[in-house]
Amino acid sequence: MTGDDRRLAGTGSDRQLSVDDVRVARYVVDPAIDPRHGPRPYLHPVRTLGGTVVTDAFPADHVWHLGASLAVQDVDGTNLWGGRTYVRDAGYTWRDDHGRIAHTAWETLDPQCLAHRLEWRDRAGAVLLTERRELAAQRVGERAWALDVGYTLTAPADRDVTLGSPATNGRPGGAGYGGFFWRAVSATPARVRTATAEGEEAVNGSAAPWLAFAGTGPDGAAYTLVLAGLGEGDRWFVRTAMYPGVCVAFAFEQPRTIAAGTSRAGRHRVVVADGALDQAEAAALAAGETV
């Protein structure tokens, strides 16, 4: 991350999400960053109720990873993820194909709920998709809170819009990322599991109802994320070895099309908990219980 990136990362129309007057997340709505990083609204830092930071932004290994955000590398040929674009038979290539996801209007501004309208635009500013997004925070126990993320993506009335990923463009190795992505932070190797599988290789590409991601914050404290809410056709994309991250992947193996004039809706929940939760505790949180 360059000095300019550090200076600009905090600019724009930032908002806060709170739980019982405890600030748990900053929402950067209009970041003034390098167009090659895929400018888009993102959540960072996200914290546990105990104050442990559980997101990363502008990490040295992938500068375009921006906390928790919606991001897709191939939207009708426009890169809205950031970084190099995976090109079939050529590999990752720097291209002048980066667009931006732009805030257009607020609907709700509240410490527990933010809702707004957005446009997914190509490099020339033409609108690829419109979106309504809602973010809500609530306590779910003594040491956990939940982030609910809902969105509706709508295609223009006159054309279909196709969503793709490096995997659908030919990259091997289960790189089907693109969707609701959470770039985590972990001072120790992160661990990931579902109710029936454990480890990156076993979980990546699965469609389990929930996923638990355990890491260690910069302060050395353990934390656990419990994610749920895959849509029809969605898959989990996870990384723990190369970097810590998890994604609700829209186009893990095959491109997905939003037909002209229709919408794709999604709703996901991320429970952010202090401490390393066991299997039963993670399952309880995924089921809407408290721990």
Residue type for position 126? A
Which distant-in-sequence residues (6+ apart) come within 8 Å of 245 by Cβ?
Answer: 65, 181, 182, 183, 184, 238, 239
What pLDDT is attached to residue 3? 35
What pLDDT is attached to residue 13? 78
pLDDT at 102 over 50: yes
Mapped onto helix, strand or coil, the DSSP state of residue 96 is coil
What pLDDT is attached to residue 70? 98
pLDDT in tens, 128-168: 999 999 999 999 989 999 999 999 999 999 999 999 999 99
CA dihedral 58, 67, 123, 179 (to 10 degrees): 140
Mean pLDDT of all residues in 221-239: 97
Mean pLDDT of all residues in 48-71: 98
How far are the Cα atoms of 42, 146, 181, 228 from residue 31, in angstroms, in the given order?
9, 25, 17, 28
Where does the pLDDT of residue 10 fall: very low under 50, low under 70, confident under 90, or very high at 90 and above? very low
Instruction: Name the residue with higher pLDDT: 280 or 5.
Output: 280
* Annotated domain spans of the chain: 3-286
Mean pLDDT of all residues in 238-263: 98
Angle at 120 between CA 114 and CA 122, to 5 degrees: 155
Give the predicted TM-score (pTM) of the model.
0.95
Angle at 6 between CA 15 and CA 191, to 5 degrees: 75
Residue 36 gets which letter from DSSP? Answer: G
Mean pLDDT of all residues in 58-83: 98
pLDDT at 7 over 50: no
What pLDDT is attached to residue 289? 87
Instruction: Please provide the size of the chain in residues.
Output: 291
Contact 155, 260 (CB under 8 A): yes
pLDDT at 11 over 70: no
Contact 154, 39 (CB under 8 A): no
Q: What distance lies between CA 139 and its chain's CA centroid?
A: 21
What pLDDT is attached to residue 142? 92
As a whole number of angstroms, the distance between CA 218 and CA 147 comes to 21
pLDDT at 2 over 90: no
pLDDT in tens, 24-34: 999 999 999 99
Which distant-in-sequence residues (6+ apart) come within 8 Å of 209 by Cβ?
Answer: 194, 195, 228, 230, 286
Which distant-in-sequence residues (6+ apart) come within 8 Å of 177 by Cβ?
Answer: 73, 81, 165, 166, 167, 237, 247, 249
Where does the pLDDT of residue 4 fall: very low under 50, low under 70, confident under 90, or very high at 90 and above? very low
Q: For the domain 3-286, what is the CATH code?
A: 2.70.98
Quote the percentage of the chain above a pLDDT of 90. Answer: 94
pLDDT at 5 over 50: no
